[in-house]
Amino acid sequence: MRQLVVIGNGMVGHRLVEAVRDRDSAGAWHVVVLGEEPRPAYDRVALSSYFDGTTEEGLRLPDLTTRDGVELRLGDPAVAIDRAGRTVRTAGGDVVGYDALVLATGSSAFVPPVPGHDLPGCHVYRTIDDLDAITAAARTATTGVVIGGGLLGLEAANALRLLGVEPHVVELAPWLMPAQVDEGGGALLGHLVAETGVAVHAGAGVSRLVPGDDGRVAHVRIGDGEAAEEIAAQIVVFAVGIRPRDQLAREAGLELGPRGGVAVDASCRTSDPAVYAVGECASIEGAVYGLLAPGNAMAEVAADRLLGGSATFPGADTSTKLKLLGVDVASFGDAHARTAGALEVVLNDAPGRRYAKLVVSDDAGTLLGGVLVGDAAAYASLRPLVGHRLPGDPLDLIAPGRGDGGVGVGALPDEAQVCSCHAVTKGAITAAIADGATDVPALKTCTKAGTGCGSCLPMLKTLLAESGVEQSTALCEHFPQSRAELMQIVLATGITGFTELITRYGRGRGCDVCKPAVASILATQGGHILDGEQAALQDTNDRFLANLQRNGTYSVVPRIPGGEITPDKLVVIGEVARDFGLYTKITGAQRIDMFGARVEQLPAIWRRLVDAGFESGHAYGKALRAVKSCVGTTWCRYGVQDSVGLAIELELRYRGLRAPHKIKAGVSGCARECAEARGKDVGVIATENGWNLYVGGNGGFRPRHADLLVSDVDHDTLIRYIDRFLMFYIRTADRLQRTAAWIEAMDGGLDHVRAVVVDDSLGIAGDLEAAMARHVTGYADEWRGVLDDPDKLARFVSFANAPDTPDPTISFETEREQPVPAGPVTLGLPTTRTHHAEV
C-alpha cells in the first residue's frame, strides 16, 4: 500500500480525502492528513454562523477517521518538505514518508502594511480562533472598523453588529463587493447595507491606525491631508483579501505562479510529479481562486489522477449567492462583461429595492453572466444557463410582468451545472431521480448537490417536480387536502368529529394514516382524545396513553417539568416501580421511564402517580414531550439566567399541546449549553441581556442544530414568540413533519418563519397567541381524565371478552437486577396478541 500525505485540513483538503476514499475501492492508498489547527476540518463558508449560535461542533465536516485508511494528525503542522527523500517533517519533529504529496495549505489573510496594522485590537477573519478573539475583544468595545468591503468584510461587519459593536466598513473601491457586483449593483448594495446600521465608507483608503493611551488601537484614519477623517474604533478587522500559503513549496524549490501560489498544471500536479496542490494555495493557469467551488474541482481532479485517471481542471466557477446583513446578493459568470462584444441588459429598480443585470453575447442569444442585488430568487435558474442559449428575450428573465419571469428547467441542457460547489450537472441529477432518488435529501446523499452553499436547493425541487416525482400534498387516498388544509377546515367549520369531516370533505372510511392525523387536529380544539369516536382514531400508543413495547407491555412516563423533582416524588416513583415490578430508566429528557406495565395495570399505576401529584408526560403522543434544563443560576457558577424556572414554566405552559410530530425543548442557563437546547425543536439559551431563541433543531434520524430566530429578548417577548412559533407550526406543517423539516420545506425557510413569528408579516400573530391561550387555559391531564370516567377505564383490558384475564404471552426475565422482556429480541410489534380495540 502506498502512502498519500495531505498537508492541510481545510475544506478542500477534506474534500480531496473524501474523493480519494470514494474512488479507492481497492485500498491502494493510506492517507495521512497533517492539520495545523487543533480541531478537525470545519465549514469555513458558514463560519459567520458562529456568531448566530452555531457551535464549533455544528460547523464540523464529516469525520474523516471513520473512513478506512485515513490517519488524521491535528495541531502538528508540516514545516519542511524533503522532495529527494519524499518525506515531510512536522513541527513536533515527526518525519512522515510519502509516495504522493498534496499541498492543501490554503491561504492567509492579507494585512496591508499601513502604520499601526499590528496594534493590539487588530484582527483578521479566517478561523474559529480569530472569531473567538473578536468575540472576546467585543466585550469591551463600542465601535469597530472593518477594512475591506468585499464578501468577507461584510460578513465581519455583521459579526460586529451581532456582538453589539457599532460597525464601520472602509472600502477602497467606489462601491462594496467590487469583485462580484458592478457599479449599479454596488450602489444599491451600499444603500441597503447602510439601512442595517453599518456605516459605509466607499472610495476611501486607510492611511494609519492610531493608538490610544493604553497602546491599543483607538482610531482609524482614512484619507490624507485636510480631507482625512478619523473613526473611533476599539476593534479593527482586516478583510482586504488573501494570500496563498506557498512558503513550504517555495522552500522546497517548487515552481510558483506569477502572483504567488504553487504553480500547477491542468491535472493539479506541480513541477514535481509526486506533488500536487489544490485550493487557495494553488496557482492554476496563473490564477489563484479563493472560493470553494474551484477548490473542490481541483480536489476531484487530483483524486482522480492519484487513482490513475485522466481528469483535468474544468475551469473555475466563481459564481456566488449569499445573504449579507439581510441583503440578497448574487453574481455569476462574466458579471463585469469582460467578454469581447458582450452586451448588458439592466434592470435598476431603486424604489423596488432590486437591481438585476444580465450579460449576454453580441447577438443577445447566449447568457454569459449576471448580477442580482436585493432579490436573488432567479439565481438558481439563471446560473446553470451560463454559456447556453437563452430561451427568449433576456429582459423577460429579470423584469417583472414580462414573460414568465424565469427560465424553465426544460431550457437547461443536461451538461448545465446545477450545483457549482460540487460540479453536479442537471444530467447527473435527473439520472439520480430516474434511479430512485425521489426527494431532496436523497439527491443530496447520492450526488452531493445542495450540500455546499445550498443555493441550488430550489432547482433540485424543480427538477424533482419536472421529473414527475413531486410528492402529493394529499393527506392520503381518503382526503385530497393536506394536513394544513384540513386544519384550516376544522378551524373554520368547527367540526368536532372524524365522520363529519370525511363525509363533507373526504371519501371512504379512512385509514391508519388519516385517522391519527385527524385525531391530532381535533385534539387541538379541546376535549379528551378518548372521547366519543376519537378513541377509535388513535394509534396504539395514544389509544392507551402509553408507549407499546416489543413484548406487548407499556411504558409509563410521568411529567417531571424541567427535570426538577422532590425527594418525596422520587420515593413514589420508586415505590410504584417496585410494587408493579417495572423496569426503570432515567431518560435523556430528565425523566424517569417505567417499563413493563400490562395494559390492565395502567390505571392502577396512574392512580398512584396522580394522587402523588404527577400527570401524564405525553411520551406516547405527538405532543410536547419535555423541556430539558441545566441548573442555571440556582446552583451553577456560570449561569446567567434561571433556566430551571423558565424550563418548568414552558413545560407547564405547553404540556398536552398536540402537534404534527413530537416536540422537544430545552433551556440552557448560559452559552455552555449543558441542556443541549440547540438539538431541540425549541431551544432557549440565556444571555446576560435576556434569552436567545433557537428553532428547528432535533436529535432524530437526521440530527440538526436549531437556528437562531431572535436574540437577547426579554421573558415576555420570548414566551410570545414561542407561542406564535408552535401554533404556526401546528397549523401549517404536514403529517409527521418535525419542525426542522417543516422549516426546510417552507418557501423562504427560516426567514419566512421569522417574518411571520417576529414581524407578524401575515397579520395572524394575535390569532396564534389567542389559540395558545385557549390551549393553556383548557389543559387537563389525560391520565386523570381516564381515571374519572368509567367508560374510558373499561378500555384498559387485554381481552374485551375476558377482562380479568392478563395476557399469558407476556413474560419476563431478570437482567442487572431488573425485569426485562423474556426471549430473543424481535423486530416490529407482537403479532400473536389481540388488543381490546380489535377484538
Q: In the chain, list all ranges with CATH 3.50.50.60.
A: 2-107+243-306, 122-240
Cβ pair 535, 573 in contact under 8 A: no
Cβ pair 614, 651 in contact under 8 A: no
Residue 808, amino acid: P
Q: Which three cell numbers stand for residue 489?
A: 377546515
Q: Which CATH architecture has domain 623-780?
A: 2-Layer Sandwich (3.30)
Distance CA 673, CA 678 (A): 8
**Greater pLDDT, 445 or 247:** 247
Confidence band, pLDDT 50/70/90 cuts, at residue 582: very high
SS in 3 state form for 88-116?
EEECCCCEEECCEEEECCCEEECCCCCCC
Question: Where are the strands (E) in 598-647, listed by range?
Answer: 624-629
Instruction: Give pLDDT tens digits for 190-212.
Output: 988 888 889 999 999 999 999 99
Cβ pair 712, 691 in contact under 8 A: yes
Stated as kind and residue range, the H or E segment containing 146 is strand 143-147
Stated as kind and residue range, the H or E segment containing 771 is helix 765-778
Place of cell 429480541: 825
Residues constituting the chain: 839
Distance CA 452, CA 446 (A): 14
For 567-602, letters b (16+ CB in 10 Å) and e give: eebeebbeebbeebebbbeebebbbbbbbbbbbbbb
CA distances to 122, 166, 209, 218 from 206, rounded to whole Å, are 14, 18, 8, 14
Place of cell 478587522: 237
From 54, 8, 62, select the one nearest 31 (Cα to Cα).
8
Cβ pair 679, 705 in contact under 8 A: yes
* Residues forming beta bridges with residue 333, ordered by sequence position: 369
pTM over 0.85: no
Residue 31 makes CB contacts below 8 A (sequence gap 6+) with 3, 4, 5, 6, 17, 20, 21, 69, 70, 71
* CATH of the structural domain 410-471, one choice from 3.40.50.2300, 3.40.50.261, 3.30.360.10, 1.10.10.1100: 1.10.10.1100
Residue 713 makes CB contacts below 8 A (sequence gap 6+) with 690, 691, 692, 693, 721
**Greater pLDDT, 465 or 447:** 447
Measured in degrees and rounded to the nearest 5, phi and psi for residue 564 equal -90, 130
The mean-pLDDT minimum among 12-26, 376-390, 562-576 falls in 376-390
Q: Other CB atoms closer than 10 Å to residue 655's CB: what's the count? A: 23
Distance CA 332, CA 181 (A): 9
Instruction: Give pLDDT tens digits for 776-811.
Output: 999 999 999 999 999 889 888 766 555 666 777 688
Q: In the chain, list all ranges with CATH 3.30.413.10.
A: 623-780
Q: Other CB atoms closer than 10 Å to residue 405's CB: what's the count? A: 14
Distance CA 215, CA 323 (A): 37
Distance CA 577, CA 558 (A): 12
* Euclidean distance between the first and the last CA atom of the chain, given in angstroms as a whole number: 65
Q: Which three cell numbers stand for residue 510?
A: 379512512
Longest dimension (CA), the chain: 100
499: left (phi over 0), alpha (psi -120 to 50) or beta: alpha
Task: Give CA 412 to chain center in angstroms.
Answer: 29
Measured in degrees and rounded to the nearest 5, phi and psi for residue 205 equal -110, 145
Place of cell 396512574: 606
Residue 554, amino acid: Y
* CATH of the structural domain 2-107+243-306, one choice from 3.40.50.970, 1.10.3720.10, 3.50.50.60, 1.10.10.10: 3.50.50.60
Instruction: Give pLDDT tens digits for 49-104.
Output: 788 767 788 788 888 888 889 999 999 999 999 999 999 999 999 999 999 999 99
Q: In the chain, list all ranges with CATH 3.30.390.30.
A: 319-407
Instruction: Give pLDDT tens digits for 616-637.
Output: 999 999 999 999 999 999 899 8
Instruction: Give pLDDT tens digits for 244-263.
Output: 999 999 999 999 999 899 99
Cβ pair 346, 371 in contact under 8 A: no
As to burial, measured by CB atoms within 10 angstroms (0-12 exposed, 13-18 middle, 19+ buried), residue 79 is middle
Cβ pair 601, 589 in contact under 8 A: no
Rg (CA), the chain: 31
Instruction: Give pLDDT tens digits for 97-134.
Output: 999 999 999 999 999 999 999 999 999 999 999 999 99
Distance CA 769, CA 291 (A): 45
Distance CA 302, CA 283 (A): 14
Q: Which three cell numbers stand for residue 524?
A: 387541538
Residue 647 makes CB contacts below 8 A (sequence gap 6+) with 561, 562, 563, 627, 628, 629, 665, 666, 667, 675
Question: Do the strands 235-238 and 242-244 form a parallel or antiparallel pair, or are they unpaired?
Answer: unpaired
CA angle 803, 804, 805 (to 5 degrees): 95
From 430, 450, 427, select the one nearest 438 (Cα to Cα).
430
Confidence band, pLDDT 50/70/90 cuts, at residue 474: confident
Instruction: Give pLDDT tens digits for 280-320.
Output: 999 998 899 988 889 999 999 999 999 999 999 988 878 88
Q: Which three cell numbers stand for residue 447?
A: 450526488
The mean-pLDDT minimum among 235-239, 499-503, 505-509 falls in 505-509
Instruction: Give pLDDT tens digits for 726-743.
Output: 999 999 998 888 999 899
CA distances to 74, 90, 242, 289, 559 from 36, rounded to whole Å, are 6, 10, 18, 21, 48
- The reply to whether CATH 1.10.274.10 applies to domain 122-240 is no
From 283, 190, 185, select the one nearest 242 (Cα to Cα).
283
Stated as kind and residue range, the H or E segment containing 210 is strand 206-211
Region 449-454: mean pLDDT is: 70
Distance CA 714, CA 735 (A): 33
Model pLDDT, residue 809: 66
What percentage of the chain reaches a pLDDT higher than 70? Answer: 93
State the sign of the Cα–Cα–Cα–Cα dihedral 651, 654, 657, 661: negative
Task: Give rounded-to-5 percent helix, strand, coil for the chain.
Answer: 35, 25, 45
- Quickly list H helices, 438-581: 440-447, 457-466, 483-493, 498-505, 514-523, 534-537, 540-544, 567-579
State the sign of the Cα–Cα–Cα–Cα dihedral 167, 170, 176, 178: negative
* Average pLDDT of the residues of the chain: 88
Eight-class DSSP state of 256: B
Q: Which three cell numbers stand for residue 599?
A: 395494559
Stated as kind and residue range, the H or E segment containing 23 is helix 11-23
Instruction: Give pLDDT tens digits for 381-406.
Output: 788 888 888 877 888 888 755 444 44
Eight-class DSSP state of 395: G
Q: Which three cell numbers stand for residue 304?
A: 482522480
CA angle 99, 101, 103 (to 5 degrees): 180
Q: In the chain, list all ranges with CATH 1.10.10.1100.
A: 410-471
* CATH of the structural domain 319-407, one choice from 3.40.50.720, 3.30.2020.30, 3.40.50.300, 3.30.390.30: 3.30.390.30
